């Protein structure tokens, strides 16, 4: 694409490209093609990491081959798009304008989609989503319960545009916000608009974005920096990565807007090296934006210049903390520094720096285009707009969901998420990642916002939401998070480095069946001490998983300590394998046992010597009649 | 990894890369990414070389290399197996899958087989939580992995070697 020299030119390009997405935006059922009556179609194939891992790239190749073979190249286009969010049912292929949403598509299904659907007009029934509760096939995306309660702002373009084509982003009002800002608004105007909108940081902290910008603007310097924090380290969260993969331009545009607001000319995206697809989409997007003159010197013919570079992380959770992130960009160990000075005063290379999270940034162009009043009309009194959650764990509909603030956990887990997998009982939902806490069933009707989640011992966090059922042991979950924290602690301050290690040792002791009452008391007091004394945000919240599980699942800890049992049947050392009367005496288990602790004659009941048993479970797997039970 | 180039050539490529940097200040992590891409890992001689070229103490290079989990100072196997230990995979049983790999390969997490064929590791979230539990081997992703499938997956790679 050629360089765009003015805002007017951008607007006229936007006007002309309106038709580009026309097919995909028609929301009514079109008459399907019958033979001899072919109509134009657009096939969107999910190109997010989840679907790509399940061969969606091959699906696209096969579709294109079949389209050529069927002689439909003039009428049908097939291309990738960003994450649809319904990862559980991926890979997803959407056919427009018929508005048919195919799920669990395999590369071999391409033939049938083209031959049956495109050529004959027969929807391929077996690839439609079936609503499990009513066993009805659903054709349209918007009719699925998964999508009904969602409002997409940060994810507005994911599943719609091709992220590798800047024209499609522009057709969806892309870069219009930047144009408006740099030609019509003063720095203070934009900062006021951001404050009025009520947007708060989506990385977890929830600091008002407008205020953050105002601080960074306040300090004078020859150079200032905008940093996009794309170091998504919460294990089990993939919101930021999906935005970068599905709509990279919205982040670039917002960074330029932020740059204009605080007076920065350089932007820097700090991204995990483990995100190759997001990196490649970003590179493509930056290249296209430079070519169009939307990044670089004198953007849209104005005096404003802004460019963006990518910096790679190298796998360190603590680098999501802004001062540690800055250390890492400077090429050092990512250890946090004391605040103040805050980055707004002295950040990257000791210059005023504003660090914003990916999802925060993705909201900004929409806020400027639609106004602060529109944005602040969504959400609760203190938390405006929407929040993207990566819903995962023991839930039917794993995926990426975006809901208005104030939606309840129950709505997310049961209406959108489709309830607990395999009909099991809900036990807990964990939000906020390793810094967050576990929430129990009694709080499921809590409307989600920054304050309400904090009040029940968890936190908003960056958006990881992991659902657990009765088969998950909460001591084991606390241990899991502590293992993570111990591995990721940077080691700079002793409460985090040593304290968490001691916490983990106590948890291991408890799950091994050697815990005492004293350990339970010590767990709490040490966890509280770490919370009060650690240096950075990671350290101060690192003991939350212990505190929240101790608060809500104390009886489970007590069962481990006093009764030496694990109620969920997870902690291996507390399990017992027993052979029931069902035993047919086939001797298979005795032959499989690695420590030879099973005795019994052929065709008689076998017995396990509990003192020797190492609880490996080999006997249970070997038993042909399910006579061995684990308790 | 550049398996066809000799070490000398790799050092030359790395030197050229460092010389072409707009600024050496703050470039350490970038250079280490490049170096690991070339050599496959970051042995002492490579760390010393990077330190010299960037004019910083080798202790600083070592400090950075050992801080970040992406960098490794040990050579890795031909096939790097990573079991996702993100929370979503963990609650769906990836811990058992990792244990099974350890059992079958007779080694611990983080180790490499004596023949240099497999390295076993774990990572935090591939971002394919819909496929949990997830295992990656080099660039290939395996979804919904169960303990029973572990030997089949390993056989796939054992057969590969055989075919060679």
Percent of chain A at pLDDT > 90 equals 80
Of the listed ranges A267-271, A311-315, A443-447, B14-18, the one predicted with least confidence: A311-315
Q: For A626, left (φ over 0), alpha (ψ -120 to 50), or beta? A: left
Residues A605 and A480 in one domain: no
Residues B62 and B86 in one domain: no
Residues A349 and A241 in one domain: yes
Residue pair A421/A464 in contact by the 8 Å Cβ criterion: no
Residue B92 three-state SS = coil
Q: Does B74 map to a domain?
A: no
Q: Does B73 map to a domain?
A: no
Is the model's pLDDT at B88 over the cut of 90?
no
In this prediction the ipTM stands at 0.89
Average pLDDT over residues A141-162: 94
Q: Which residues of B touch A50 (CB under 8 A)?
A: 127-131
User: For the segment A375-425, what is each residue's pLDDT rounded down to a tens digit?
Assistant: 999 999 999 999 999 999 999 999 999 999 999 999 999 999 999 999 899
Range(s) of the domain holding residue A490: 474-563
Q: Which residues of A touch B134 (CB under 8 A)?
A: 53
The model's confidence at residue A496, banded by pLDDT at 50, 70 and 90, is very high
| Alpha carbons A148 and A160: distance in angstroms, whole number | 17
B91/A235 CB distance under 8 A: no
How many structural domains comprise chain A? 5
Residues B26 and B59 in one domain: yes
Residues B155 and B85 in one domain: yes
The model's confidence at residue A34, banded by pLDDT at 50, 70 and 90, is very low
Average pLDDT over residues A567-583: 90
b/e code B110-147 from CB counts within 10 Å (16+ = b):
ebbeeeebbbbbbbbbbbbbbbbbbbbbeeebbbebeb
CATH number of the structural domain spanning residue A127: 3.40.30.10
Residues A464 and A609 in one domain: no
Residues B88 and B117 in one domain: yes
Q: Does A7 map to a domain?
A: no
B36 vs B2, which has greater pLDDT? Answer: B36
Neighbouring C-beta atoms of residue A513, cutoff 10 Å? 17
Option in A49, A316, A330 nearest B26 (CB): A330
Is the model's pLDDT at B161 over the cut of 70?
no
Residues A318 and A182 in one domain: yes
Average pLDDT over residues A182-203: 96
Residue B5 is predicted with a pLDDT of: 57
The model's confidence at residue A38, banded by pLDDT at 50, 70 and 90, is low
First-to-last alpha carbon distance for chain B, in angstroms, is 20
CATH number of the structural domain spanning residue A612: 3.30.70.20
Distances (CA, A) of B135 to A99, A377, A401, B86, B125: 34, 43, 24, 11, 10
Instruction: Kindly state whether B130 is in contact with chain A, defined as any CB-CB distance less than 8 angstroms.
Output: yes
Residues A405 and A368 in one domain: no
B123/A274 CB distance under 8 A: yes
Q: Which residues of A touch B67 (CB under 8 A)?
A: 316, 333-334, 490
Residues B86 and B62 in one domain: no
* Disruptive mutation site among B83, B89, B100, B129 for chain A (greatest number of A CBs within 10 Å): B129
Range ranked top by mean pLDDT from A28-42, A238-252, B136-150:
A238-252
Residues A489 and A348 in one domain: no
CA A615 to chain B, closest CA, distance in angstroms equals 13
Is the model's pLDDT at A433 over the cut of 90?
no
Last residue within a domain, chosen from A121, A139, A157: A139
A392/B132 CB distance under 8 A: yes
| Alpha carbons A239 and A390: distance in angstroms, whole number | 6
Is the model's pLDDT at A517 over the cut of 90?
yes
* Disruptive mutation site among B24, B51, B84, B130 for chain A (greatest number of A CBs within 10 Å): B130
Residues A329 and A422 in one domain: no
Range(s) of the domain holding residue B88: 79-163
CA gyration radius for chain B?
18
Residues B95 and B61 in one domain: no
| Alpha carbons A213 and A261: distance in angstroms, whole number | 7
Residues B154 and B125 in one domain: yes
A332/B126 CB distance under 8 A: no
To which residue do tokens 């049983």 refer? B93
Q: Does B87 map to a domain?
A: yes
A237/B33 CB distance under 8 A: no
Residues A461 and A478 in one domain: no
CA B132 to chain A, closest CA, distance in angstroms equals 8
| Alpha carbons A225 and A163: distance in angstroms, whole number | 26
User: For the segment A503-516, what is each residue's pLDDT rounded down to a tens digit?
Assistant: 999 999 999 999 99
B85/A235 CB distance under 8 A: yes
Is the model's pLDDT at B164 over the cut of 50?
no
How many structural domains comprise chain B? 2
Option in B25, B127, B143 nearest A238 (CB): B127
CATH number of the structural domain spanning residue A421: 3.10.20.600
Residue A27 is predicted with a pLDDT of: 62
Residue A31 is predicted with a pLDDT of: 52
Neighbouring C-beta atoms of residue A138, cutoff 10 Å? 17
Percent of chain A at pLDDT > 70 equals 98
Q: What's the whole-model pTM score?
A: 0.92
| Alpha carbons A53 and A508: distance in angstroms, whole number | 35
Residues B117 and B57 in one domain: no
Q: Residue A551 is encoded by which pair of tokens?
A: 């608060």
The model's confidence at residue A295, banded by pLDDT at 50, 70 and 90, is very high
Residue pair A117/A34 in contact by the 8 Å Cβ criterion: no
Option in A317, A398, A477 nearest B130 (CB): A398
Option in A331, A390, A393 nearest B28 (CB): A331
Option in B69, B95, B130 nearest A87 (CB): B130
Residues B90 and B59 in one domain: no
């Amino acid at each position: 694409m050629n360089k765009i020299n003015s805002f007017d030119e951008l607007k006229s390009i936007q006007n002309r490209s309106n038709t580009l997405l026309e097919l995909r935006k028609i929301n009514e059922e079109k008459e399907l093609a019958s033979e001899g009556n072919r109509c134009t179609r657009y096939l969107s194939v999910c190109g997010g990491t989840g679907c790509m891992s399940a061969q969606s790239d091959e699906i696209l190749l096969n579709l294109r081959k079949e389209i050529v073979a069927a002689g439909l190249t003039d009428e049908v286009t097939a291309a990738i798009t960003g994450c649809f969010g319904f990862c559980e049912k991926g890979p997803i292929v959407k056919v427009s304008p018929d508005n048919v949403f195919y799920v669990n598509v395999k590369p071999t299904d391409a033939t049938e989609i083209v031959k049956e659907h495109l050529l004959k007009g027969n929807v391929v029934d077996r690839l439609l989503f079936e609503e499990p509760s009513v066993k009805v096939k659903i054709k349209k995306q918007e009719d699925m319960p998964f999508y009904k309660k969602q409002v997409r702002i940060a994810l507005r373009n994911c599943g719609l545009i091709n992220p590798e084509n800047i024209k499609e982003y522009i057709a969806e009002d892309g870069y219009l916000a930047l144009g408006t800002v740099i030609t019509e608004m003063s720095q203070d105007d934009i900062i006021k608009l951001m404050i009025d909108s009520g947007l708060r940081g989506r990385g977890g902290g929830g600091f008002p974005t407008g205020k953050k910008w105002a601080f960074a603007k306040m300090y004078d310097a020859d150079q200032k920096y905008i940093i996009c924090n794309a170091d998504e380290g919460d294990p089990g969260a993939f919101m930021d990565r999906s935005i970068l993969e599905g709509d990279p331009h919205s982040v670039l545009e917002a960074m330029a807007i932020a740059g204009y607001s605080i007076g920065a000319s350089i932007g820097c995206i700090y991204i995990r090296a483990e995100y190759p697809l997001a990196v490649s989409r970003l590179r493509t997007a930056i290249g296209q934006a430079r070519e169009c003159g939307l990044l670089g010197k004198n953007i849209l013919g104005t005096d404003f210049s802004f460019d963006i570079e990518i910096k790679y992380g190298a796998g360190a959770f603590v680098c999501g903390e802004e001062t540690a992130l800055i250390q890492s960009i400077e090429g050092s160990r990512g250890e946090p520094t004391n605040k103040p000075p805050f980055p707004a005063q002295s950040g990257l290379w000791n210059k005023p720096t504003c660090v914003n999270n990916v999802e925060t940034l993705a909201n900004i162009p929409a806020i400027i285009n639609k106004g602060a009043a529109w944005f602040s009309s969504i959400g609760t009194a203190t938390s405006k707009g929407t929040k993207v959650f990566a819903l995962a764990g023991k839930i039917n509909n794993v995926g990426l969901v975006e809901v208005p603030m104030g939606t309840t956990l129950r709505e997310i887990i049961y209406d959108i998420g489709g309830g607990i997998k395999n009909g099991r009982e809900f036990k807990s939902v964990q939000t906020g990642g390793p810094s967050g806490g576990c929430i129990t069933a009694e709080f499921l009707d809590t409307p989600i916002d920054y304050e309400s989640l904090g009040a029940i011992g968890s936190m908003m966090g960056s958006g990881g939401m992991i659902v657990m059922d009765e088969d998950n042991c909460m001591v084991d979950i606390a241990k899991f998070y502590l293992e993570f924290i111990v591995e990721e602690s940077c080691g700079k301050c002793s409460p985090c480095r040593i304290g968490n290690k001691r916490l983990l040792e106590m948890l291991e002791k408890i799950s091994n069946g050697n815990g005492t009452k004293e350990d339970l008391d010590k767990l709490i007091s040490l966890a509280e001490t770490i919370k009060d004394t650690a240096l950075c945000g990671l350290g101060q919240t690192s003991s939350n998983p212990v505190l929240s599980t101790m608060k809500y699942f104390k009886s489970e800890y007590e069962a481990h300590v006093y009764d030496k049992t694990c109620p969920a049947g997870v902690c291996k050392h507390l399990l017992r394998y027993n052979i029931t009367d069902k035993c047919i005496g086939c001797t298979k288990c005795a032959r499989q046992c690695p420590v030879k602790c099973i005795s019994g004659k052929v065709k008689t009941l076998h017995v396990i010597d509990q003192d020797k048993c190492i609880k490996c479970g080999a006997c249970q797997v070997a038993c042909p009649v399910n006579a061995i039970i684990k308790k | 990894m550049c398996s066809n180039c000799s070490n000398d050539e790799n050092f030359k490529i790395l030197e050229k890369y460092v010389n072409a940097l707009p600024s050496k200040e703050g470039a350490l992590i970038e250079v280490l990414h490049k170096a690991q891409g070339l050599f496959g890992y970051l042995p002492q001689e490579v760390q010393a070389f990077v330190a010299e070229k960037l004019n910083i103490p080798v202790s600083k290079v070592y400090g950075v290399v050992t801080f970040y989990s992406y960098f490794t100072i040990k050579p890795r196997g031909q096939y790097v197996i990573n079991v996702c230990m993100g929370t979503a995979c963990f609650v769906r049983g990836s811990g058992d899958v990792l244990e099974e790999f350890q059992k079958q390969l007779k080694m611990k997490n983080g180790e490499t087989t004596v023949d240099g064929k497999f390295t076993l590791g774990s990572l935090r979230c591939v971002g394919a939580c819909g496929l949990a539990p997830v295992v990656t081997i080099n660039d290939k992703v395996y979804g919904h992995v169960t303990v029973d499938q572990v030997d089949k997956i390993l056989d796939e790679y054992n057969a590969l070697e055989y075919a060679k």
